[in-house]
Structure 1
Amino acid sequence: MASARRVDPRTDPQWAALARSVGGSLFTSPPWISAVSDAYGLAPTARIAVDPAGRPMGGLAWTDVRDLRGERRLGLPFCDRADPILLESSAWPAVSSDAFAGDLPFTLRCLDTSLVVQDPRFDHVGEATWHLTPLDRSLDDLHRAFRPQTRRNIATAERSRVEVVLTPDREAVAEYHRLHVGLRKRKYRLLAQPLDFFERVWKAFAPSDGIRTALALVGGRPVAGAVYLVWQDTVYYKFGASVPETLPLRPNDAIHWQLIRWAHGRGLRALDWGLSDLDQPGLAAYKRKWASIERRIRTLNAGGPPIGQSADVEQTLRVVTDLLTEPSVPDHVTAQAGASLYRFFC
């Protein structure tokens, strides 16, 4: 018989042990949960099931959110996915009972291989693609396994003398954020995560040497960037941005190839490319050129939309976002808007 208890996933040692197990991921790791929660003023919780000897059998983390967009339970906010960690399938009833209790609608995202996608309490309300590149072969074999277009793009970047700087330094995160704000504004008409969030991520992962920021330089000017995070034996591609007019030089391909060589040298097992929405087929196709494993991330919901959700509020946020991402708006103003408003987009 499993017994269960509530814990804080940011500080509980048993949750940390679960997060380091085979079922854990970056998004259920204590440093990631801490960075997100501290940046946006959230209070996460988790439920852990243990066997009679006190060994953890599984866990589930979530955050209750109450703001102008309504009341909801998310497992977890601002994550590609946050799969329940189940070392034994019998732990699921014990760790999920609290999350389904009460009136709050509960939403989580997990890989389609998770047993929880079969739970009849959930409705399937969304789907995205997910890609992974195993790194357990030689660099030459990895290079040969890429799609021909990817190999050509790497060669183009080399001929164009694209220089890649891969660094653990905090200053590079701020430089990347400038590119990030510009890309989200001009390409997607969206606000960007605040710089404070990126700095908290750096602070959370830097002590374990778990963050790398890549900047692609052309003539000494940063034209593309990416932020990668390491958890256990996997490196995660979490953020990427580039200057559109420099894309023919293939700076993003130069960045990813440099990162793969670094990760391979460090002995990491895999590169996780993260989530790609189905309405972004170009992004999924790009990742597919590098990755040999593709699966689906399922969005599951129990209880429907947020309590108190207002169509007027949703429309107002859309209008305000459109106004603040107009080309005529200075980037520093758009960045300040993201710092104030991004926390509502979870």
Structure 2
Amino acid sequence: MRSRSARRSSRYSNGPEGRASESLVQREQCFITKRGSMTQVSISTPLSNFIEQQTKGFLCYSESWYNLLQSVYGYSIILLTTTDRLGQIKGILPLCEIKSPLTGHRLVSLPFSDCCPLLASDEDSANDLIDQAIRLAQEKKVKYLELRPGVNDVLAKRSDMVAGNLYVRWLLPLQENPDALWTSLSSHVRRHIHKAQKQDIQIRMAENIEDVEQYYRLHLLTRSKKHGMPAQPRKYFYQLWNDFHAEGKVQIFLAEYHEHVIASIVIFVHDEILQCAYAASDQRFLHLSPNHLLYWSVIKWGCTQQYKAYDFGRTAIDNKGLMEFKRRWGAIEEPLPYYYYPGVAGLASKSEDSKLFRLLTSCWRRLPLSVAGPLGGLVYRHMG
């Protein structure tokens, strides 16, 4: 029987000055080029077609997403690919190389993505991509390799990759008629939606960059004061809007009370799934239940637009309150394992209930917003 390496042609590229493993850089599939001071990823048509066939429009596999990670956070993008003997694409695994004096040198697929599925047309191709990633981690002498594919049978069977099981995701199947979905919500959720409606809270979709700024204001407040965590830089959300909104891949919903924005959600729009990427609110108005009406408005919109599911996003299993909140909507819990080499490591592997996590969040909450905003923007690139 022929070995896997004999059946597959595997390569990786990491820029014009990078090395190639086992063969020349696969330039017919992807380019990583310099344009002035900006490094940009360009994906060729064959690779783009393969991605489209394998995914349901995941943002994390788009050219624009790679370029956002590079321009906002300064990460290096490495695209691992594998082909058959005829040169047909059989798999792709994107990696970010992160070099941080604070959190170490590592390879991640992909930072700031709840889930980045491993795209491969068969088990041999999947194993080849994983083998490439491990070899690359060894060659670069990184602290660890982290893959975030969610449930993956190939990775689960490998003895050299260690699973971390700190997170789950919650998916709510959508129906064409939102009224039919309404009856499946818990009475607790319906009661809070009615409460917000009685307070005359209005929900609208963002139309311009000023609305993005309204979201960012709430995001900074929520991350800093409620969660005690650094917030993504303003530039990140502005670029999300500029790069993805026009093509309908990012939507922002805002809840207004007396013409004042008090809650907001950023939605990543995949081909069949709406994903709650970020949510933020002003704690002073939570007694009005704006978040319940906001979520329900997004879900109703998803039903009328014929999306198949609403993804409530990643949840730490030790966050019992948030787990219960999503359960009451009728969402279905799914495992969301991450895989590591040589062992579990990194911020995504730390329990939110750990003493270190609680200490860090307690300290961050004490920072004034005028300090937490710019400082968070500087720190966040180290958290990928």
Same fold at TM > 0.5: yes
The residue aligned with 1:78 is 112
- Of residues 281-290 and 108-117 in structure 1, the stretch that sits farther from structure 2 once superposed is 108-117
Deviation of residue 240 (structure 1)?
Answer: 0.3
CA 1:321 to 1:257, structure 2 compared with 1: closer, same or farther past 3 Å?
Answer: closer
The residue aligned with 2:257 is 218
Aligned residue among 163, 174, 177 for 1:135: 174
Deviation of residue 317 (structure 1)?
Answer: 11
1:155 and 2:194 matched: yes
CA contact (8 A) 2:8 2:85 kept: yes
Larger Rg: 2
The residue aligned with 1:45 is 78
C-alpha separation in 1, matches of 2:345 and 2:243: 30
CA contact (8 A) 2:227 2:361 kept: no
1:103-182 alignment runs, 5 A limit? 103-104=141-142, 105-182=144-221
The letter for the 2-side match of 1:223 is: I
The letter for the 2-side match of 1:90 is: D
C-alpha separation in 2, matches of 1:282 and 1:317: 17
1:317-328 alignment runs, 5 A limit? 323-326=363-366
SS of the aligned residue for 2:246 comes to: helix
1:90 and 2:124 matched: yes
The letter for the 1-side match of 2:376 is: G
The letter for the 1-side match of 2:49 is: A
The residue aligned with 1:11 is 42
The letter for the 1-side match of 2:131 is: S
CA contact (8 A) 2:81 2:89 kept: yes
The residue aligned with 1:258 is 297
Deviation of residue 283 (structure 1)?
Answer: 1.4
Deviation of residue 223 (structure 1)?
Answer: 1.1
- Of residues 45-54 and 329-338 in structure 1, the stretch that sits farther from structure 2 once superposed is 45-54
C-alpha separation in 2, matches of 1:260 and 1:212: 13
Q: String of CA shifts for 1:84-111, please: whole Å, max 9, x gaps.
A: 1122222112222221012322112222
CA contact (8 A) 1:8 1:45 kept: no
C-alpha separation in 2, matches of 1:152 and 1:318: 33
1:2 and 2:33 matched: no
C-alpha separation in 1, matches of 2:31 and 2:313: 25
SS of the aligned residue for 1:145 comes to: coil
C-alpha separation in 2, matches of 1:320 and 1:139: 42
Q: String of CA shifts for 1:204-225, please: whole Å, max 9, x gaps.
A: 2123122211111111111111
CA 1:87 to 1:285, structure 2 compared with 1: closer, same or farther past 3 Å?
Answer: farther
1:241-320 alignment runs, 5 A limit? 241-304=280-343
CA contact (8 A) 1:83 1:114 kept: no
Work out the percentage of aligned pairs sharing the same amino acid.
23
The residue aligned with 1:312 is none
The residue aligned with 2:379 is 341
Deviation of residue 179 (structure 1)?
Answer: 0.5
SS of the aligned residue for 2:340 comes to: strand
CA contact (8 A) 1:166 1:212 kept: yes
C-alpha separation in 2, matches of 1:114 and 1:227: 31
Deviation of residue 321 (structure 1)?
Answer: 7.0
C-alpha separation in 2, matches of 1:339 and 1:174: 15
C-alpha separation in 2, matches of 1:318 and 1:30: 37
The letter for the 2-side match of 1:78 is: F
CA contact (8 A) 1:128 1:296 kept: yes
CA contact (8 A) 2:173 2:331 kept: yes
C-alpha separation in 2, matches of 1:31 and 1:292: 30
CA contact (8 A) 2:127 2:154 kept: no
Q: Structure 1 regions of 5+ residues with no counterpart? A: 308-314
Provide the TM-score with structure 1 as the length reference: 0.88
CA contact (8 A) 1:168 1:206 kept: no
1:229 and 2:268 matched: yes
Q: String of CA shifts for 1:11-67, please: whole Å, max 9, x gaps.
A: 213443344334453333333333223210011112122334443222211112112
C-alpha separation in 1, matches of 2:31 and 2:114: 21
Q: Structure 2 regions of 5+ residues with no counterpart? A: 1-6, 13-29, 33-40, 347-354
Deviation of residue 297 (structure 1)?
Answer: 0.8
Give the alignment's Cα RMSD to 1 decimal.
Answer: 2.6
The residue aligned with 1:100 is 134
CA 1:97 to 1:154, structure 2 compared with 1: closer, same or farther past 3 Å?
Answer: same
CA 1:318 to 1:200, structure 2 compared with 1: closer, same or farther past 3 Å?
Answer: farther
CA contact (8 A) 2:162 2:344 kept: no
C-alpha separation in 2, matches of 1:192 and 1:130: 22
